Amino acid sequence: MKTEIKVYTIICDGCKKDICEDTEFCGFNDVEAACLDESEWLTIEDGHYCPDCYHYDDNDNLVVPSRL
């Protein structure tokens, strides 16, 4: 039997990469499960950023080029 299900994912606001892109998962089964707690992704206000879209400068200040 085939059935429709809803899955959630997170898309980087910088480069549009999907958080599940490099994993064996296609998404999360609920909104609360789609969290960034155990990943290197950042949430800044309402934006989400993958590790490729931010870095820390020499003074340990967070730099997110796409937000400048």
List Cα–Cα distances, 3 to 6, 8, 13, 21, in angstroms. Answer: 10, 16, 31, 23
pLDDT of res. 45:
87
Phi first, then psi: give them for residue 59, nearest 5 degrees: -100, 15
**Domains: count for the chain:** 1
pLDDT by residue for the chain (68 residues), tens only, comes to 999 988 899 999 999 999 988 888 888 887 777 766 667 899 888 899 999 999 999 999 999 987 76
Give me the domain span that covers residue 40.
Answer: 1-68
pLDDT of res. 38:
65
* 22: Cβ contacts below 8 Å, ≥ 6 apart: none
